[in-house]
Amino acid sequence: MRAPLVCLIAIAAIALGAAPALAASNALAKIVDGACVPAAQAGGRPAPCASVDLNGHFAILKDLVGASQFLLIATSPDSGIESPDLEAAGTPNFFADAWAARQNMDDKLGRAVPRDDIGLAINSVEGRSQDRLHIHIDCVRADVAKAVAADAGSIGTSWTAVPDGLLGHPYRAMRLASADLAEVNVFALLAASLPPDDAKMGDQTLVAIAGKLPDGSDGFYLLTDHAGATPDDHASGEELLDHNCAILN
């Protein structure tokens, strides 16, 4: 028998509020599989999710943390950034879907969030608390947005080290001439940059920050870091986001 909705929400409240080492790693899966998807399949409101796209294989859920943070959560049991399926042709473009879901931030805050204030992040295996694939959708940290804008001229179309790193971690970056992340597989772009016998996708974090490219067009800056790059580095790119959305002030 499926757990009552209130129980699923309680599980999420406990799990998502806990430290990664203590969190119930299947909390998001229980919410999506136990409540949101069955409700969508029945033609009803997919609560507690904001929406479910059965054809796109994802759900959108308001995170308990922050005023405007939403999560794109896979409805299939993809384990996370380490899943090789994400790099394959024909796989759902979850980053593009997450970008399209930013409208939920506007609805929640009752105001339009400027494009260049938004970031998307997926954490590494070590830097996450949930095993079901999920992408964080929220405001970017103001200091991070400023640092990326300052380095924009030196960030090219292939991966290169961010000159001074970000938040004490040695990120790499590349710019992407895409207004909406459609027609590009950012997971494949990252995987292609890794030495095949040296680094694993599961150790990586991947962040897409919207911004102006050097020619003034709308694009994205992709950022990546890997677990263990420094002693305290868990490759949690979510650190580049601000769940208080101070950048709006």
**What per-residue confidence (pLDDT) applies to 23?**
52
Cα–Cα distance, 63 to 66 (Å, whole number): 7
Return the pLDDT at 196. Answer: 73
Question: So what's the pLDDT on residue 78?
Answer: 81
Q: What length does the chain have?
A: 249
Under a CB-based contact definition with an 8 Å cutoff, are residues 203 and 126 in contact? yes
φ/ψ of 168, rounded to 5, equals 80, 5
- Can you give the residue ranges of every domain in the chain? 5-248
Strands of the sheet containing 204-212, edge to edge, are 51-53, 58-62, 70-74, 134-139, 118-122, 204-212, 218-226, 172-176, 160-161
* pLDDT tens per residue across all 249 residues of the chain: 334 444 444 434 433 433 334 458 999 999 999 999 999 999 999 999 999 999 999 999 999 999 999 999 999 988 899 999 999 988 999 999 999 999 999 999 999 999 999 999 999 999 999 999 999 999 999 999 999 999 999 999 999 999 999 999 999 999 999 999 999 999 999 999 998 765 699 999 999 999 999 999 999 999 999 999 999 999 999 999 999 999 999
CA distance 18 to 24: 8
CA angle 33, 26, 123 (to 5 degrees): 110
Pairing of β 172-176 and β 218-226: antiparallel
CB atoms within 10 A of CB 204: 26
* Residues with Cβ within 8 Å of residue 2, at least 6 apart in sequence: 34, 35, 38
pLDDT reported for residue 20:
39
Specify the fold of 5-248.
Answer: HIT family, subunit A (3.30.428)
User: What does the pLDDT read at residue 195?
Assistant: 82
